[in-house]
A and B are shown apart, each in its own frame.
Chain A
Amino acid sequence: MEFLGLYNYWVFAILLMTGLYAVISRANLVKKLIGMSIFQSAVFLLYISMDKVEGGTAPIIQANAPDQLYSNPLPQVLILTAIVVGIATLSLGLAIVVRISEAYGTIEENEMREMDEE
């Protein structure tokens, strides 16, 4: 089972690059935004994977169990706020896409470029 100890990080690498692939290879703006949120989720997974302590539990102090081990609370705080900031920025991105769609009638990047060149 020893080799599975790094499985989380491998999944992190694959997800990160899946998100990046969607951003750089697709012309559709909504697809790019979805790719960015996959990229972001991969970073969340990296942080939360690092917080785990073997035999630990969620960092909520139990007064009647003084020897209890707890997982690291710090990455959790960082990611907790990052998730909500992520949805706020995603909605800003979606709002921009909606306005672009109203102006150009399309959300495909290459079609927009052709319209600009005309």
Chain B
Amino acid sequence: MITLFGVFLLTLLVITAFGIVRAQHLFVSVMLTGIFSLQMAAIFFILDAADVALTEAAVGAGVATVLMLSALALTENRERPTRPRWVPVIVVSATTLMVIYATFDKPLLGDPDAPVHQHVAPWYLENTPRLIDVPNVVTAILASFRGYDTLGELFVIFTAGIGVLFLMANPSKPGAVSLFAATEAEGLRHHLVPRVVGRLLVPFIVLFGLYVQFHGDYGPGGGFQAGALISAGVILYALVDGEGKALEAISPRFLRGMIAGGALLYVGVGIAGMLLGGNFLDYSVLAQDSIAGQHLGILLVEAGVGLTVTGTLLTVFHSFAARDQQER
């Protein structure tokens, strides 16, 4: 039954992808990418990846759609018709057939003897309870065993945030009209259903984000998911009540502090480990016994990840939203 449901969802996914590429109106394409992400999240969930499904739903269906719509509002939302070109079609079809031919050598879905399950994964599953003692193995690997990787990923996000700030920074002129200024006059606030439902949902989304942040050791969750969820909540608030209100709640200065502070917190935990006589990002020395140290380290590192991700996503949203339309 689950297999059939998976096949159904995967087929829908392919149809949606074709729709995205075919649609001439970019607004349609962007809305379809939201649906695409939601289907992808459902598939991840069926494939036992609860953490990934949570992230994909919050990021893909929430934040990414809003960002792409803001970009469309600043550019143009209709694609020029292009005449079909045959070379790309032939290249792409031939490559698809080759990749499909190659899959016949792959182990079937769910095969426990597949090579991927023989290498380090059993070690992680076996030793996480003993060495780190948190139930969620994904969090344990993400924050502790492979803390270096996550630090690197965090700095990629950090750099991307700085890059967007550089590209979109706008010396705000007095009387400049922001993209979402219309919201204040005639936007969602004066529509009854979005206003009531939106305002009702925002506190619960943020609360759920905080729960996901601090409960990440025990259930699906952690800094990446929480950052995406909280920023989705704040973006919803900005869409319902106007961007100005959201900026009053969390100022741009504070957001920039969050971007840098989160990354600094992560590095700081690593250096604290070194000062206490361990290796970089070795949390075992942070407290009396190694398990308590691991718990403390994971908590702090995840908090750093959450801060940077929330700060970056919200800063990016505000940079797009505040982009002066007159300047075009």
Contact = CB atoms under 8 A, between A and B. Distances in A.
B292 interface: no
A105 to B, nearest CB: 8
B7 interface: yes
Nearest to B13: A11
Contacts of B316: 88, 91, 95
B299 interface: no
Contacts of A49: 47, 109
B4 to A, nearest CB: 8
Q: Which of B56, B89, B323 has the most CB of A within 10 A?
A: B56
Contact of A18 (B10, B17, B26, B56): B17
A80 B224 contact: yes
Contacts of A5: 108-111
Interface in A50-84: 50-63, 69-84
B30 interface: yes
A15 B60 CA distance: 16
B224 A84 contact: yes
Given A6-B104, A35-B21, A73-B125, A85 B156 contact: yes
Contacts of A1: 3
A98 B168 contact: yes
B10 A8 contact: yes
Contacts of A71: 47-49
Interface in B89-117: 89, 91-93, 95-96, 99-100, 103-104, 106, 108-112, 114, 116-117
B48 A56 contact: yes
B304 to A, nearest CB: 14
B36 interface: yes
Contacts, number: 301
Contacts of A58: 48-51, 220
A60 B85 CA distance: 49
A49 B146 CA distance: 21
A87 B40 contact: no
Interface in A16-70: 16-22, 24-28, 30-31, 34-35, 37-38, 41, 44-45, 48-63, 69-70
B181 to A, nearest CB: 17
B49 A6 contact: no
B327 interface: yes
Interface string B59-82: 110011001101110111001101
Interface in B269-328: 309, 312-313, 316, 319-320, 323, 327-328
29 contacts: A7-B10, A8-B109, A10-B100, A12-B99, A14-B96, A15-B14, A28-B80, A30-B29, A31-B29, A31-B79, A41-B37, A44-B40, A49-B109, A51-B116, A52-B48, A53-B110, A54-B110, A58-B48, A60-B219, A72-B116, A73-B125, A76-B49, A80-B222, A80-B224, A81-B142, A81-B153, A88-B316, A91-B160, A108-B79
Interface of B: 3, 6-7, 10-11, 13-14, 17-18, 20-21, 26, 29-30, 33, 36-37, 40, 43-44, 47-52, 55-56, 59-60, 63-64, 67-68, 70-72, 74-76, 79-80, 82, 85, 88-89, 91-93, 95-96, 99-100, 103-104, 106, 108-112, 114, 116-117, 120-121, 124-125, 128-129, 135-138, 141-142, 146, 149-150, 153, 156-157, 160-161, 163-164, 167-168, 218-220, 222, 224-225, 227-228, 309, 312-313, 316, 319-320, 323, 327-328
Interface of A: 1-2, 4-22, 24-28, 30-31, 34-35, 37-38, 41, 44-45, 48-63, 69-92, 94-99, 101-102, 105-108, 111
Given A61-B125, A83-B59, 15 more contacts: A4-B7, A11-B10, A14-B17, A31-B21, A31-B29, A34-B20, A35-B21, A38-B17, A38-B21, A49-B109, A71-B47, A77-B142, A80-B55, A82-B153, A98-B71
